[in-house]
Chain A
Amino acid sequence: MDILFDVLRTAIAPSTAAFALAAIGLNFHFGLTGLLNMGQAGFMLLGMYGFAISIQQGWPIWIAILVGLAAAAVFAVLLGWPTLKLRGDYLAIVTIAAAEMVRFLGRSQSLQGLTGASSGIRGSDYKAPFEELSPFPDAIVNIGPFSMHGSRSSSWWLTAVTWGIVLLCAGLFWRLANSPWGRVLKGIREDEDAVRSLGKNVYSYKMQALIIGGVIGALGGITWALGNSVQPDSMGRPTTFWLWTLLLLGGAATVFGPVLGSILFWSSLTLVKSLASAFIPSDVLAPTELEPFSLVLVGVTLMLLVVFRPQGVLGNKKELAF
């Protein structure tokens, strides 16, 4: 029973929602436009830094959010400007390298005063303005079997806000994907030259998609940071690969694919971890080996999924599959 609650708690956790957000951004890139963005973690990290540093400067929370989103938009323009005219794989190389550059820049000692270098920025340094907006009580609140703080850190307040944003962004995806604008992007995903021959400015559309997806990624970063802390190494390459995994798991080019993917991915990870710690004796598998072991199992499951259901859980095989 406890295991079930653990799994459900992960399913509704703000971090799960934050990953769903970043995956919705990636869905704009890959699902809709076919852009291979291998650096979504970089967009998230920029959002986090922009937000946390602005708050530390004493700026109001709305400005801080805008700074985080604007940083991601500028990053998208910088990455897209030289690469979007080239073939798709160049964008993949540039984004993975650029995301690492953001991480290393954040870690560098010379920026210690701003980013806190490799130890990052403590949650208590920037969470207060958000927590003060909470209508929930400033204490532990039990709703059914779930027990979370009302306002602090990974709280009911953050849960409500983050899932609210997820719904908004899913709605945004739905509206845009089913508009003539989205149709042009899908055309670009299929064949750029064909779309060019029909009189559309392919470069401009790809840039718009890159910016929108990156900004939503930054939003995911900000909400993730509000439940955890700003730590450059938590937004490394594995984060990007997890985002890809859960997007493809849920189904790319679908409205709720990234959301379902995030819930399934994180809850199955919790499930495997809890089951392993409950049933495998610790002399066979030490507690420190639980995390890598569950990742391996999840990885195998995903491989099976790609083999037997390449379109993901919600995807349409005729529209987008591996």
Chain B
Amino acid sequence: MADTAFVSVPHEPGAAKPDPILIAEGVTRRFGGLTAVKVDHFEVQRNTITALIGPNGAGKSTFFNLLTGFDHAQEGEGQFNGKPLRGMAPAKVARAGMVRTFQLTKALSRMTVIENMRLGAQEQPGENLLRAFAPPLWKAREREITEQAHDLLHRFKLYEKRDDYAGSLSGGQRKLLEMARALMSKPTMVMLDEPMAGVNPALTESLLDHIVELKEDGMTVLFVEHDMHMVRRISDWVVVMAEGRIIAEGPAGTVMANPAVQDAYLGAHHDTDLSELTLEDDE
């Protein structure tokens, strides 16, 4: 279905999608004199995997922060699932069903893996101060949450680690934990900021599979990534940013051939083969 969703979509920046879950319009973010992001129009098709790529300093992470409420644009409107995003606090964005992960993994190191997972769940009445005093009010929900967490931990092969402190996990396992934790809230859209950064190649395959599974489970995925192999493998649609703007859109195969994209990359990496391009961190 995702494969047919893009048939009628033109391969051009800011293209309209048949069923967009996320829309951004005229988003501008300036840091002093520097315009970090200036996106005229951006749409993400529901239930697809969309990649956001671009050279270092293209504004991908900033754009990501703007969409998830962690940063606020000077101008522009956003819409998620029909709800306006403007001025919405990050916690509210998450509760609306759009959860994110971070480029620098934020595993809660001095909490156990299972506590990390439980924290991701929504609608736990015991998170209210007064109800916290009366365990009968929240124990039942806690059991549901724990069961859900165990399922996810099995899927992400972290079940054996459930009682370990998150700080004792390897970098790749923390990435997995962060993704699994985000899924605890049963989101409709998952935003992954460089899910592959720092993950060893052995784990990469299983991470890719997990992302594809998210789509099969009906979620929409938007991810920032530098690893072109990964982008080719799993993305249905690729959006390219450079100098704060969207310069190209299209399926992975055609977008790489776009001269504007090659210019954007070759300007910074003239001696790198585009298909081999694996850039370092963005910031």
Chain A residues with a Cβ under 8 A of chain B: 175-176, 179-184, 186-187, 189-191, 193-202, 208, 318-320
Q: Is the CB of A195 within 8 A of B119?
A: yes
Q: Is the CB of B91 within 8 A of A181?
A: no
Q: Is the CB of A199 within 8 A of B110?
A: no
Q: Would you give the shortest CB distance from A178 to chain B, in whole angstroms? A: 9
- B138 on interface, CB distance cutoff 8 Å: yes
Q: A-B pairs with the 3 shortest C-beta distances? A: A180-B126, A199-B94, A179-B132
With the chains together, A49 CA to B32 CA distance in Å?
48
Scoring B residues 168 to 191 as 1 if CB is less than 8 Å from chain A, else 0, what string do you get?
Answer: 100000000010011011000000
Q: Is the CB of A184 within 8 A of B119?
A: yes
Interface residues of B in 155-174 (CB under 8 A from A): 165, 167-168
Contact flag A320-B110 (CB < 8 Å), given A181-B126, A196-B70: yes
Q: Would you give the shortest CB distance from A98 to chain B, in whole angstroms? A: 24
- Across-interface contacts of A189 in B (CB, < 8 A): 110
- Across-interface contacts of B110 in A (CB, < 8 A): 186, 189-190, 318-320
Q: Is the CB of B142 within 8 A of A175?
A: no
Chain B residues with a Cβ under 8 A of chain A: 68, 70, 89-92, 94-95, 99-102, 106-111, 115, 118-120, 122, 124, 126-129, 132-133, 135, 138, 142, 165, 167-168, 178, 181-182, 184-185
Q: Would you give the shortest CB distance from A67 to chain B, in whole angstroms? A: 22
Contact flag A198-B94 (CB < 8 Å), given A179-B135, A180-B124, A183-B115: yes
With the chains together, A34 CA to B115 CA distance in Å?
17
18 contacts between A and B (CB under 8 A): A175-B133, A176-B133, A179-B126, A181-B128, A181-B132, A187-B108, A187-B111, A194-B107, A194-B178, A196-B90, A197-B90, A198-B181, A198-B185, A199-B95, A199-B185, A201-B89, A202-B91, A319-B110
- Across-interface contacts of A175 in B (CB, < 8 A): 132-133
With the chains together, A201 CA to B93 CA distance in Å?
11
Closest A residue by C-beta to B110:
A319
With the chains together, A183 CA to B108 CA distance in Å?
11
- Across-interface contacts of B122 in A (CB, < 8 A): 199
- Across-interface contacts of A191 in B (CB, < 8 A): 106, 108
Contact partner of B120 (CB less than 8 A), chosen from A190, A193, A198, A319, is A198
**Max chain A Cβ within 10 angstroms of own Cβ: one of B100, B120, B165:** B120
With the chains together, A208 CA to B99 CA distance in Å?
25
**Max chain A Cβ within 10 angstroms of own Cβ: one of B90, B100, B184:** B90
Contact partner of A196 (CB less than 8 A), chosen from B94, B107, B108, is B94
With the chains together, A175 CA to B102 CA distance in Å?
32
Q: Is the CB of A180 within 8 A of B100?
A: no
Q: Is the CB of B142 within 8 A of A180?
A: yes
Q: Would you give the shortest CB distance from B223 to chain A, in whole angstroms? A: 15
